[in-house]
Structure 1
Amino acid sequence: MPAFVLVEVNIQDPLVYEEYKKLTPSSVEAYGGKFVIRGNPVQVMEGSWNYDRLVLLEFPSKEIALEWYNSKEYQKAKKIREKASSANFFIVG
């Protein structure tokens, strides 16, 4: 059963965040994941939206999504992201 990782991001340093964006795709692909949504503009229909960016990733399973998140490859990118932004990560599946 597929699992989805939903990420809400606020970017404080766009230049550093660009480095994160370069590193992440190869780590996602290495775990069979793919980007479903990657920073598309969000149009609020109900409620409120207070973030700069929305990302939705799809993985073959929850276990594989967690392997990716905890992987050595992603941890390198994560350190860069943490310098440039704040984020909320959620997994569904």
Structure 2
Amino acid sequence: MAAYVIVEIKINDTEKYEEYKKLTPASIAAYDGKFIVRGGATETLEGDWQPGRVVVLEFPDAGSARQWWNSSEYAIAKTIRQSAADTKMILVEGVNFL
């Protein structure tokens, strides 16, 4: 069952964050993940949530998402992101309709 990593990011250092953006796609692809949303425009429909940058990743399953997040392929990029931005990140399992 597909799983999604949903991220809200407030960028504090745009130069460092650009470096992060260059390193991340290959690490995601190594775990069969893909970008569904990558920083597009947002519109608040309810509540007072005013997110900065929003990213949604799709992985084949939650295990693949966890392996990516803990991987050596992502480690350097993750360290850069953590120093360049304030991040909220969750893992959500999808729904199997079959």
- Could you tell me the TM-score, scaled by structure 1's length? 0.96
Count how many residue pairs are aligned between Structure 1 and Structure 2.
Answer: 93
Partner residue, 2:72:
72
Structure 1: distance between partners of 2:84 and 2:12: 5
2:28 corresponds to: 28
Q: Which moved more, 1:67-76 or 1:44-53?
A: 44-53
> 2:82 and 2:50 mapped to 1: Cα distance?
18
Structure 2: stretches of 5+ with no match in the other structure: 94-98
Larger Rg: 2
Partner in structure 2 of residue 58 of structure 1: 58
Letter in 2 for 1:37: V
1:20 Cα deviation from its structure 2 partner = 0.3
CA RMSD of aligned residues (A): 0.7
**Is 41-50 or 62-71 further displaced after alignment?**
41-50
Q: Which has the higher helix share?
A: 1
Q: Give 5+ residue unaligned stretches, structure 1.
A: none
Identical counterparts, % of pairs: 48
| TM superposition score normalised by structure 2 | 0.92
